[in-house]
């Protein structure tokens, strides 16, 4: 592009690579002398002309005959070069400057004599001289065009960015004559590019800072949320623990009182029954079965009292592997009379081959009896109660189902609370299910309640199996 500007600016710079002619144009019978250009600018060089530039040739046609006319042509061409809107320059084959147009001289604030040779390099920024020399030497050796951005000192002392481009030119005989080239001030463009880069860098920095701040805020929020979740969970556990402790404390207090009040009467009943049994054995066997049952129940009462005392004192009851089905059958027998009194039918659906469960059988009897009695007391006569056992992977379950009216949803969460009962008018104490809950938890199990007004109520007890039989 710059070479084209030069070609259009003046006949001096109407040259590019290769030996060119005026398409055989003759002046007064002879070819146009290629050394004329050197004479026009006062330089000992001869430049090839671009074919087809007839407007410039026509301008010289009438000036050709005399030396005076050629001097006028030279002056005219120099004026054209000086008024070109770019910086124009010419070098010799060694790269030494031989010509700068007026615009270039005015830009640097120097004379042509100061610029000639290597003098013009005095205006180039020291950091750019090395790469300029390397580029131009390589281009000159290969006789190729080049373009480079360098900083050149303005007459005001400030360095400005220029695009300096050059193309090789040749004598009429084809020998290399040097370079002809142009320069364009691109300082404004470079400043705009720098501002754009700085703007992008600043924007990128702000984005990084904003992203970092957002990441910090996100991390803090995540920590706060996690902290609140942990706090809420800890609070719920604490509340459950407090409620459980309150229940156990209440049951413990009540158990201590019950044990104190019932222990002596039970002892008296046992003593009387044993005495009656001895006397009956001496006289006959008429009431033997009844007396044996009295003794059994009295002994059972003593064990219950002992168990309750251990529970109140947080003592550990002795446990050993037992058959849950057998315990359930004994509990049914114990609850049979109460079920009949309420007109309820108790049905047993026991799973054969249950693995042993480590338990205190007396306490587990107490659990099942309480559940059966509770189910029989719901609703009117004709109630159907089902006791079912089932084997799971590492546990066994015992469920007691009744077909009663179900437990209202608003009271379902309170049925294991001590002293909570909806049957206070018929003698309910609200202790049966709370004792069930405490015994099952002490055995490492769980109690779950499902209730529906149409389907009735199911209470499921889950108990871990004996470790040595868990895999069987």
Estimate the share of the chain in helix, then strand, then coil, as percent rounded to the nearest 5. 55, 20, 30
pLDDT of the residue at 80: 83
**pLDDT score at 48:** 39
Distance CA 220, CA 315 (A): 47
pLDDT tier, 34 (very low <50, low <70, confident <90, very high otherwise)? very low
Most confident of 33-47, 236-250, 415-429: 236-250
Q: Decide: 110 and 123 in contact? Cβ < 8 Å.
A: yes
What mean pLDDT comes out for the span 205-214?
90
- How much is the pLDDT for 118? 93
Contact assessment for residue 393 and residue 462, using Cβ atoms and an 8 Å cutoff: no
Residues 6+ positions from 89 with CB-CB distance below 8 Å: 97, 99, 100, 101, 104, 120, 166, 180, 181, 182, 183
Q: What's the rounded mean pLDDT across residues 380-387?
A: 83
Res. 121 pLDDT band, cuts 50 70 90: very high
> What pLDDT, on a 0 to 100 scale, did the predictor assign at position 183?
94
Reported confidence tier of residue 308, pLDDT bands at 50, 70, 90: low
What 3-state DSSP class applies to 26? Answer: strand
Better-predicted residue by pLDDT, 416 or 132: 132
| pLDDT tier, 31 (very low <50, low <70, confident <90, very high otherwise) | very low
pLDDT band at 15 (very low <50, low <70, confident <90, very high): very low
Q: Is pLDDT of 59 > 60?
A: no
CA 148 to chain centre: 48
- Residue 321 CB burial class (10 angstroms; 0-12, 13-18, ≥19): middle
Could you give the CA distance from residue 452 to residue 424 in angstroms, rounded to a whole number?
A: 22
Mean pLDDT of 331-340: 85
What is the spatial distance between Cα 249 and Cα 251, in angstroms, rounded to a whole number? Answer: 5
* CB neighbourhood size of 55 (10 A): 8
> How far is the CA of 297 from the CAs of 159, 163, 290, 303, 382, in angstroms?
116, 116, 11, 10, 28
Instruction: Look up the pTM and report it.
Output: 0.40
Q: What confidence score (pLDDT) does residue 37 get?
A: 42
Place of tokens 């159907």: 384
What pLDDT score does 54 carry? 37
- Contact (CB, 8 A) for 339 and 376: yes
Among the ranges 14-28, 137-151, 286-300, which has the highest mean pLDDT value?
A: 137-151
| pLDDT reported for residue 230 | 84
φ and ψ at 65, to 5 degrees? -55, -40
Structure tokens at 320: 């050993």
**157 confidence band (pLDDT: 50, 70, 90):** very high
pLDDT at 32 over 70: no
10-14, 171-175, 253-257, 263-267: range with highest mean pLDDT: 171-175
Using a pLDDT cut of 70, give the percent of the chain over it. 64
The band of 299, judged by pLDDT with boundaries at 50, 70 and 90, is: low
The residue with greater pLDDT, 260 or 6, is: 260
Q: Tokens 């659990």: give the residue.
A: 367
Higher pLDDT, 8 or 412: 412
Band of the pLDDT at 314, cuts 50, 70, 90?
A: low
Query: Could you tell me the two tokens for 188?
Result: 């404004």
Torsion angles phi and psi, residue 370, rounded to 5: -60, -40
Query: In b/e form, how buried is each residue of 63-82, taking b as 16+ CB within 10 angstroms?
Result: bbeeeeebeebbebbbebbb
**Residue 216 pLDDT > 60, yes or no?**
yes
Pairing of strands 384-391, 345-349: parallel
Instruction: Judge whether 421 and 430 are in contact, CB under 8 Å.
Output: yes
pLDDT tier, 439 (very low <50, low <70, confident <90, very high otherwise): confident
∠87-93-98 over CA atoms, to 5°?
Answer: 40
pLDDT at 72: 77
pLDDT attached to residue 36: 43
**Quick check: 313 pLDDT over 60?**
no
For the chain, the average pLDDT equals: 76
pLDDT of residue 21: 33
Q: Domains of the chain, with CATH numbers?
A: 2-185 (3.30.450.20), 317-469 (3.30.565.10)
């Amino acid at each position: 592009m710059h070479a084209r500007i030069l070609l259009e600016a003046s006949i001096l710079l109407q040259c590019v690579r290769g030996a060119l002619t005026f398409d055989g144009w003759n002046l007064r019978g002879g070819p146009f002398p290629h050394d004329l250009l050197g004479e026009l600018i006062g330089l000992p060089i001869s430049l090839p002309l671009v074919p087809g530039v007839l407007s410039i040739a026509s301008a010289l046609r009438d000036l050709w005959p005399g030396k005076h006319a050629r001097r006028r042509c030279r002056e005219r061409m120099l004026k054209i070069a000086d008024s070109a809107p770019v910086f124009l320059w010419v070098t010799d084959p060694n790269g030494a400057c031989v010509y700068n147009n007026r615009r270039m001289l005015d830009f640097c604030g120097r004379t042509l004599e100061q610029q000639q040779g290597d003098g013009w390099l005095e205006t180039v920024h020291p950091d750019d001289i090395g790469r300029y020399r390397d580029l131009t030497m390589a281009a000159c050796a290969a006789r190729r065009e080049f373009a480079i951005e360098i900083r050149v000192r303005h007459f005001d002392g400030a360095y400005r960015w220029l695009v300096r481009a050059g193309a090789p030119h040749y004598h009429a005989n084809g020998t290399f004559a040097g370079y002809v080239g142009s320069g364009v001030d691109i300082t404004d463009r470079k400043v705009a590019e720098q501002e754009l880069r700085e703007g992008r860098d600043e924007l990128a920095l702000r984005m990084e800072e904003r992203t970092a701040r957002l990441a910090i805020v996100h991390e803090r929020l995540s920590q706060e949320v996690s902290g609140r979740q942990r706090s809420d969970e800890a609070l719920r556990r604490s509340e459950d623990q407090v409620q459980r402790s309150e229940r156990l404390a209440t049951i413990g207090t009540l158990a201590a009182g019950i044990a104190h009040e019932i222990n002596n009467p039970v002892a008296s009943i046992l003593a009387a029954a044993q005495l009656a049994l001895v006397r009956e054995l001496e006289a006959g066997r008429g009431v033997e079965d009844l007396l044996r049952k009295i003794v059994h129940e009295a002994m059972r009462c003593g064990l219950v009292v002992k168990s309750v005392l251990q529970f109140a004192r947080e003592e550990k009851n002795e446990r050993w592997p037992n058959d849950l089905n057998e315990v359930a059958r004994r509990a049914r027998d114990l609850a049979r009379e109460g079920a009949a009194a309420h007109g309820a039918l108790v049905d047993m659906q026991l799973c054969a081959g249950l693995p042993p469960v480590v338990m205190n059988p007396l306490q587990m009897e107490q659990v099942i009896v309480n559940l059966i009695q509770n189910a029989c007391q719901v609703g009117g006569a004709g109630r159907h109660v089902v006791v079912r056992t089932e084997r799971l992977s590492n546990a066994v379950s015992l469920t007691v189902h009744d077909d009663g009216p179900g437990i209202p949803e608003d009271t379902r969460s309170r049925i294991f609370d001590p002293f909570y009962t909806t049957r206070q008018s018929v003698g309910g104490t609200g202790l049966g299910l709370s004792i069930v809950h405490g015994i099952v938890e002490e055995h490492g199990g769980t109690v779950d309640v499902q209730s529906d007004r149409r389907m009735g109520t199911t209470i499921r007890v889950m108990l871990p199996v004996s470790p040595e039989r868990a895999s069987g």
